[in-house]
Every structure is written in C-alpha cells, then in structure tokens.
Amino acid sequence: MADTTIFSKIIEGEIPCDKLYEDEYCIAFNDIAAQAPIHFLVIPKKPIINLLSCEDEDKNLLGHLLLVGKKIAISKNLENWRTVINNGAESGQTVFHLHIHFLAGRPMKWPPG
C-alpha cells in the first residue's frame, strides 16, 4: 500500500485540482507544474506506487488509464501527444503514486532527458 501522497489527497477531495475526468477507477487533472502547453495526469484511485508494484490483477486498470487519457486527448482535439510513466526516483518520479503524464502542444524531442 502506498503512503499518503498529494495524489491520494486529491482523490479524497482534500486538495482541489483542475479535474478533467473522474470515474470509479481513476481521476485525471491538469498538472500544476506543466512541462508543455497541454499536460495532464491520469491516476488510479487504487494506491499503486509505480509500475514495478503493479500486479497481474491491475492489467485492466492500466489499460483503462491509457484509454481515459486518449479520451481526454481527443476531447482536446489532439492527434499527437507524449505519454510518460516514470518509475522510481532516478527516472524522475517525485510522487510515489502511479500516474501517467500526457503532454502535447509543442514539439517533443528525443531522447527526452
């Protein structure tokens, strides 16, 4: 089980967010530290630390998170975006609750960092 994070507080409604979507499995909102003109996060309500801590039972949830992100991207008329999942501190993960970044609105470079 994950420790209390800013994301768990957002899920519980203790901290407000610029919500884009919510259902029984996840919530999506604009990133407050946007790295692109469009930058939103999709996070599971289930407290999963990162991809490494996912189990086989999470496969439907993981697919759902990606499809929710796609739905939001389409609603923003996006055809191109970058999807990022950081796993661990050395990869850039700063909040230890699984989250998927969707970034768009500017050219993306490779390698990313």
State pLDDT tens for residues 11-60.
999 999 999 999 999 999 999 999 999 999 999 999 999 999 999 999 99
| Catalytic-labelled residue, pool 39, 64, 97, 99 | 99
C-beta of residue 50 within 8 angstroms of C-beta of residue 69: no
C-beta of residue 43 within 8 angstroms of C-beta of residue 7: yes
Query: What is the model's pTM?
Result: 0.94
Q: What does the alpha-carbon distance between residue 108 and residue 47 come to, in Å, rounded to a whole number?
A: 30
List domains and CATH numbers for the chain: 6-104 (3.30.428.10)
> Minimal CA–CA distance to 44: which of 5, 16, 88?
5
Does residue 39 have an active-site annotation? no
Can you tell me the mean pLDDT for 61-81? 98
What pLDDT sits at residue 43? Answer: 98
Distances from the Cα of 28 to the Cα of 19, 56, 112, angstroms:
6, 23, 23
What pLDDT sits at residue 13? Answer: 96
For residue 27, the SS3 value is strand
